[in-house]
Structure 1
Amino acid sequence: MSLSTTDRSLLDPAIRRLNALRPLSSAARASLEYAMLEGVQHAGANEDLVSEGDPVDSVRIVLSGWLCRYKMLEDGRRQIVNFILPGESCDAHVFLLSTMDHTIGALTPVVFAEVKRARFDSLLAADRSLAEAFLCETLVNNAVQREWAVNLGRRVALERVAHLFCEIFERLRPVGMVDGNSCAMPVTQMDLADATGLSVVHLNRTLQELRASGLIVLRDRTLVIKDLDALKDVALFSPGYLQVYRGGRERG
Structure 2
Amino acid sequence: MTTGSLSPHILMTRKLESIFALSDEERQALQDLPVRIKTIKSGQDIVRIGDRPTQCCLILEGFTCVYKLTAEGKRQIMALHVPGDIPDLQSLHLKVMDNSIAPIRSSTVGFIQHEDVRQACERHPRLTAAFWRETLVDASISREWLLNIGQREAYTRLAHLLCEFLLRLKAVGLVEGDTFGLPITQVEMADAIGTSAVHMNRILQALRADGLIQTQGTQVTVPDWEKLKKAGDFDPVYLHLEGGET
Matched, 1:29 2:27: yes
Distance 2:12 2:105 in 1: 18
> Secondary structure of the equivalent of 1:186?
coil
Q: 1:110 matched to which residue of 2?
A: 107
Show CA shifts across 1:123-143 (max 9, x none): 112113322221111110000
| Superposed counterparts of 1:55-204, under 5 Å | 55-204=52-201
Structure with more helix by fraction: 1
Q: Percent identity?
A: 34
Distance 2:34 2:229 in 1: 35
Distance 2:145 2:34 in 1: 29
TM-score relative to the length of structure 2: 0.92
Residue 8 to residue 166, structure 1, CA distance change in 2 (3 Å) = closer
Distance 2:42 2:87 in 1: 16
> Secondary structure of the equivalent of 2:32?
helix
Give the superposition deviation at 1:73.
1.6
Output the amino acid matched with 1:193: A
Distance 1:28 1:12 in 2: 13
Give the superposition deviation at 1:10.
4.1
Output the amino acid matched with 2:216: R
Distance 1:170 1:162 in 2: 13
TM-score relative to the length of structure 1: 0.90
Matched, 1:50 2:47: yes
Residues 214, 222 of structure 2: 8 Å contact kept = yes
Q: 2:18 matched to which residue of 1?
A: 20
Show CA shifts across 1:39-77 (max 9, x none): 222212232100111112221111222100011122221
Q: Which one of 183, 203, 208 corresponds to residue 206 of structure 1?
A: 203
Distance 1:66 1:7 in 2: 17
Residues 72, 78 of structure 1: 8 Å contact kept = yes
Structure 2 gap segments, 5+ residues each: none
Distance 1:8 1:204 in 2: 33
Would you identify which runs of 4 or more consecutive aligned residues in structure 1 move more than 6 Å? none
Distance 1:7 1:165 in 2: 25
Residues 66, 83 of structure 1: 8 Å contact kept = yes
Output the amino acid matched with 2:70: L
Residue 223 to residue 28, structure 1, CA distance change in 2 (3 Å) = same
Distance 2:5 2:234 in 1: 36
Output the amino acid matched with 1:143: S
Give the superposition deviation at 1:217.
1.2
> Secondary structure of the equivalent of 1:204?
helix
Structure 1 gap segments, 5+ residues each: 1-5, 248-252
Residues 60, 84 of structure 2: 8 Å contact kept = yes
Range with bigger deviation, 139-148 or 123-132: 123-132
Residues 9, 30 of structure 2: 8 Å contact kept = no
Q: 1:250 matched to which residue of 2?
A: none
Range with bigger deviation, 167-176 or 126-135: 126-135
Distance 1:177 1:10 in 2: 14
Give the superposition deviation at 1:13.
1.8
Show CA shifts across 1:16-45 (max 9, x none): 1111211222222222222143x2222122
Distance 1:210 1:52 in 2: 35
| Matched positions, count | 241
Give the superposition deviation at 1:108.
2.6
Output the amino acid matched with 1:35: L
Q: 2:212 matched to which residue of 1?
A: 215
